[in-house]
Structure 1
Amino acid sequence: MPSEKPTRNQRIVQYVAVGLVCAFAAAGFYDADPRPWGVAVAWTTCTALLVGPAAWLARDWLPADRYETVAYVAAGAAILLAIGWLGVALAFAPHLFPFGPGFVVGVGFGTLVVLLAERTVVPERMRSVGG
């Protein structure tokens, strides 16, 4: 089944949803006392170093019509991992729970770093290899 490009309105709804999640994470980070800057920086670095090369390798190895399917699988796996981490943190180490905002903000910033690097640093000829 061929994947259709999202319409302008669908893309706007996607951006608004992501923006609301980011705003919620920023509010949680701002309300945290003390603010988990170290956790946020560590997760930013880890996310950028893991997600960036994985995304670029996937772009090289996968045909363009498979990107959406792989994105759904990756998002589902990330959600399951987050749920598992939260369950373990609450069950065995409740003191880890306050660092949730640092985790969310770090992953968000790391993903943003990867997207910005791809748009600004990675040459166009390398971005279009898989497509």
Structure 2
Amino acid sequence: MTSDFNVLLCFGGMGLFQALSMWLAFELREHAMSSGTYASPSCLHFDEHLNVITLNNEPMVTLRPGSLNHRFLSHMFMHANQSIPKHDLYLAANIPDSVYINKLIANTKLPKTIRDKAFVLESGGIRLNTTF
């Protein structure tokens, strides 16, 4: 009889320990998310109707329709997370050959830290990472 009681007491203690551990884990996660220390991936998005680039749903840059920046960025977002050959980009977005790709990226008016993470120059091409 006492051995049955000891087994029940042991299982009860283990269950209580697991419940408290789970509760503590969820509390710590909620605290980290509310204090801003929770690292969630950044997400770039281009709203074609408003001509606005957002980062995590916060507006970053408003583009003038038809401008060089608009043509460049709309083409990059159409082919996001894909490597685009420089020649194809220049033809599709109607970019003059005299414009350097580094200058195009710098003229986006995005903060440098975001540009450095979002745009990846590859041999003969470029890729826009929308999550980083």
Q: Report TM bin, short chain.
A: under 0.3
With structure 1 as the length reference, what TM-score do the two structures score?
0.24
Q: Which has the higher helix share?
A: 1
Q: Which has the higher contact order (CA 8 A, sep 6+)?
A: 1
When normalised by structure 2's length, the TM-score is: 0.24
Task: Give the structure with higher Rg (CA).
Answer: 2
